[in-house]
Amino acid sequence: MRALVVRGRGATPAVEEVRLPAPGPGELRIRIRAAGLCHSDLAMVHGTLTPGYPLVLGHEATGVVVEIGPGTALPVGTPVVLNWAPACRDCWHCRHGEPWLCVANGAASVPRGETADGEPMQVTLGLGALAEEVVVPERAAVPVPAGLPPAQAALLGCAVLTGTGAVRNTARVAAGESVAVIGLGGVGLAVLTAARRAGAAPILAVDVVAAKRELALAAGATDFLPADDALSREIRARTDGRGVDHAFECVGRAATIRAAWRATRRGGAVTVVGMGGRDDLLSLSAMEIFHSARTLRSSVYGSTDPDREVPELAAALAAGDLDLAPLVSGTVTLAEAPAALDRLARGEGARWVVTFPD
């Protein structure tokens, strides 16, 4: 089967033939129908995260079960969305209602299968979903209704779940509260969509790429602002001089976290959704932390339980209550995925999705 493989840090990803093992006890083989290209994949390529190589990229996907190992419950033919952080349900965090912090997760990659020349390979976040097929634990596959548009359903497992959860679970945005979203990739646009569904107003979208204005408005923003030195002043001008109730940082950089902090009112909350680098340090003075009374927190995987929330989002998508079309910038083939990753790195579009023939 074919997969998108990167051979080392900074190397150019390429489509290669690879071999996966047969499903073992409690495992499934899933034929991928669509897989999103995410900034986390770029982090694997560039070394912001530290996976093993050679590495099959991809962790955001939908597909159908085509083979089952011993002791599995999902039948062949079941449509699923992949979950890159399946909870063990037994560790301290899982037992205390925090499955998104499960100790069984956290590895950038795990060993699975081999390249065509017999070299052991790794798969991203236990999935390696930018491939024609994957072999995964059953708990990493969440059943969803048949007939969902594949390019949109693929996003449920990462961008949409993360963005929706950040609004609904971490920040708990209420109707009428003001929101700013800094960084309009797939996750940032999902935050906009969730903020609109929550009844927030105004919803201010911020990005360095002016061309994302129309994407932001389609996803739910009431206004678009450029990410420049006047940002804090512009946001305060739209919120009676206070700043927003909630700022969501969806980039993962100290500079944009600081911008979100400055854009938030006294007593408001900054939610960091973007994943940054270890050496990118944020500085806040002890006085401003005390005086501002702001809350600064992160949202890991949207503080979600995917086993419960992916089916809810899938049902909303199936019913037409959730429109994810604005998040999909376009679909590409697996052969076109390296070029699409380059476009993602340049800030073009939101989510490019690789689709596979049935």
Alpha carbon of 235 to those of 208, 228, 275, 292, 296: distances in Å?
15, 12, 24, 17, 18
Q: How far is CA 44 from the centre of its chain?
A: 14
CATH class of 2-143+324-355: alpha beta
- What is the widest separation between alpha-carbon atoms in the chain? 63
Residue 50 tokens read as 């530290």
**CATH node for 160-301:** 3.40.50.720
Per-residue burial over 254-289, b if 16 or more Cβ lie within 10 Å, else e, is bebbbbbbbbbbeebbbbbbbbbeeeeeeeeeeeee
CB distance 222 to 193 below 8 Å? no
Residue 148 tokens read as 């969902």
- Please name which of 40, 42, 38, 55 lies closest in space to residue 128, comparing C-alpha atoms: 55
Burial of residue 348 (number of CB atoms within 10 Å: 0-12, 13-18, 19+): middle
CA distance 251 to 202: 21
Would 2-143+324-355 and 160-301 be classified into the same CATH topology?
A: no
* 351-355 vs 27-37, strand pairing mode: antiparallel
**What's the pTM?**
0.93
Structural domain boundaries of the chain? 2-143+324-355, 160-301
Per-residue pLDDT tens listing for the chain (358 residues): 999 999 999 899 999 999 999 999 999 999 999 999 998 899 899 877 889 999 999 999 999 999 999 999 999 999 999 999 999 999 999 999 999 999 998 889 999 999 999 999 999 999 999 999 999 999 999 999 999 999 999 999 999 999 999 999 999 999 999 999 999 999 999 999 999 999 999 999 999 999 899 999 999 999 999 999 899 999 999 999 999 999 999 999 999 999 999 999 999 999 999 988 888 999 999 999 999 999 999 999 999 999 999 999 999 999 999 999 999 999 999 999 999 999 998 888 888 999 998 7
Alpha carbon of 178 to those of 154, 202, 218, 222: distances in Å?
29, 5, 18, 10
